């Protein structure tokens, strides 16, 4: 069965290398038959967090926030594509994510990280695990780390060389893991409502 998966990307930089990886994730999941949408934090352009979505009176949240809340609630699973900024998470992606809470609950999430260097965003990947868990998501055990990104994906987001082959292999396992948990969560909700 097709799962509804949102792929989140958070760089606001002018020369965004990670968009190659976000596009690769979307394209690959679509090719597997899933309903996939890229949510680009820069395009959504939420303000710096002042009030969370749930803190607005019903019907008074900014339109972009309302639309995104509905997409999150309707999704079966999430992919977070993140770069590493000074050993931490991208501020644009973190800001977008923090606007919501209950909307994330009871669905799986996976983290795909990248960097220009050989560590492939691994520290940002690890930093996201606790954050996403705290926000009510089940974080899958598979992770994808891409680096150096320019030697892994070309400008069109196509895998190149040995690094590209490694990405294809690791992403296949990642996608299998994410979809398994998405299906499990969706089916469990038909058997029993979440406890809160």
For the stretch 133-156, pLDDT in tens is 999 999 999 989 999 999 999 999
Question: Does residue 137 sit within a domain?
Answer: yes
Nearest partner of 79 among 154, 29, 134, 151, judged by Cα? 29
Instruction: With CA atoms as reference, report the closest residue to 82 among 63, 67, 97.
Output: 97
66 found inside a domain: yes
The pTM score is: 0.96
Q: Is the residue at 125 inside a domain?
A: yes
CATH code, 66: 3.40.50.360
Domain with 104 in it: 4-191
Work out the burial of residue 161: count CB atoms within 10 Å of its CB; fewer than 13 is exposed, 13-18 middle, 19 or more buried.
exposed
Give domain status of residue 143, yes or no. Answer: yes
Q: Is residue 132 one of the residues assigned to a domain?
A: yes
Whole-angstrom Cα Rg for the chain = 16
Asked, for residue 76, whether it belongs to a domain, the answer is: yes
> Does some domain include residue 196?
no
Place of tokens 């690791």: 170
Residue 172 falls inside a structural domain:
yes
As to burial, measured by CB atoms within 10 angstroms (0-12 exposed, 13-18 middle, 19+ buried), residue 134 is exposed
Number of folded domains in the chain? 1
Question: What pLDDT digit, counting tens, does each position of 48-81 carry?
Answer: 999 999 999 999 999 999 999 999 999 999 999 9
């Amino acid at each position: 069965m097709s799962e509804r998966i949102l792929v989140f990307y958070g760089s606001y930089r002018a020369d965004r290398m990670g968009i190659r990886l976000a596009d690769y994730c979307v394209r690959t999941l679509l090719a597997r038959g899933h309903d996939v949408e890229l949510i680009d934090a820069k395009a959504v352009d939420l303000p710096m967090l002042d009030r969370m979505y749930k803190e607005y009176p019903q019907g008074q949240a900014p339109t972009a926030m309302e639309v995104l809340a509905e997409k999150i609630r309707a999704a079966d699973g999430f992919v977070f594509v993140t770069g590493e900024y000074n050993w931490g998470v991208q501020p644009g992606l973190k800001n977008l994510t923090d606007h919501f809470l209950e909307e994330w609950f009871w669905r799986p999430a996976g983290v795909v990280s990248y960097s220009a260097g050989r560590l492939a965003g691994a520290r940002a990947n690890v930093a996201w695990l606790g954050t996403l868990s705290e926000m009510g998501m089940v974080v899958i055990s598979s992770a994808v780390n891409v680096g150096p990104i320019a030697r892994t994906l070309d400008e069109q987001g196509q895998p190149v060389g040995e690094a590209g082959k490694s990405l294809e292999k690791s992403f296949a396992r990642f996608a299998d893991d994410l979809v398994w948990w998405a299906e499990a969560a969706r089916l469990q909700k038909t058997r029993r409502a979440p406890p809160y």
